[in-house]
């Protein structure tokens, strides 16, 4: 599996809360920093203070193997109370040539929400690539372990998403 192939993983959770409450939480870009093992902080850029198509935000991440890095994300899809998606770019060139082009994202993230059984079905998805990322660096060092490296990273991302979705569910249900 190569990053250019777009390996992806998703997680789902049922939240016993109203759709507007869950939407408010998933569009709070600072919330995952409280819940995720990798994202440390996020802030809107360009004077923007809420999600909208084309809006940008900065993220600061930390990983035991990769260290710390900054990203710039671009909101690429926004459908009120249904879809919030963003492309993460390597603005500082941490993993290769610096870019803020969403078409060369190191990863793309997406929340999808749908009413279900008196609550909300919340899905979070991540797709790796097509741009360079930490996976690219690892595979270049150990090309014969490509499948293992990609699978391990997808499992790390799955665990992070499960923690984030669990936290969102808990906050939404406590507020309901």
pLDDT in tens, 29-67: 999 989 988 999 999 999 998 999 999 999 999 999 888
Cβ atoms 69, 85 nearer than 8 A: no
Does an H or E element contain 13, and which?
strand 8-15
d(CA 152, CA 32): 21
For residue 5 the two structure tokens come to: 């192939």
d(CA 157, CA 135): 12
The DSSP secondary-structure symbol of 3 reads G
Highest mean pLDDT among 45-49, 81-85, 172-176: 81-85
- The pLDDT of residue 148: 96
- The domain tally of the chain equals 1
Mean pLDDT, to the nearest integer, of 120-142? Answer: 95
The percentage of residues in the chain with a pLDDT greater than 90, rounded to a whole number, is 91
Q: Of 3, 2, 9, 33, whose CA–CA distance to 105 is shortest? A: 3
d(CA 116, CA 32): 23
**Residue span of the structural domain in which 145 resides:** 3-175
Here the CATH number for the domain that contains residue 115 is 3.30.530.20
- The pLDDT of residue 176: 80
DSSP 3-state percent helix, strand, coil across the chain (nearest 5) = 35, 35, 30
110 has pLDDT over 80 = yes
């Amino acid at each position: 599996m190569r990053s250019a192939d777009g390996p992806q993983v998703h997680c789902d959770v049922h939240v016993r809360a109203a759709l507007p409450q869950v939407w408010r939480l998933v569009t709070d870009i600072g919330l995952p920093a409280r819940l995720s093992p990798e994202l440390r902080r996020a802030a809107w850029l360009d004077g923007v203070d809420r999600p909208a198509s084309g809006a940008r935000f900065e993220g600061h991440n930390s990983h035991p193997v990769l260290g710390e890095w900054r990203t710039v994300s671009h909101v690429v899809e926004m459908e009120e109370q249904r879809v919030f998606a963003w492309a993460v770019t390597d603005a500082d060139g941490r993993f290769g040539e610096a870019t803020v082009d969403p078409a060369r994202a190191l990863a793309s993230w997406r929340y999808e929400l749908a009413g279900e059984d008196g609550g909300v079905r919340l899905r979070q998805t991540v797709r790796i690539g097509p741009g360079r990322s930490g996976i690219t660096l690892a595979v270049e060092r150990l090309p014969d372990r490509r499948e293992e490296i990609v699978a391990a990273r997808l499992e790390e991302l799955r665990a992070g998403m499960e923690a984030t979705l669990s936290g969102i569910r808990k906050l939404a249900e406590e507020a309901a």
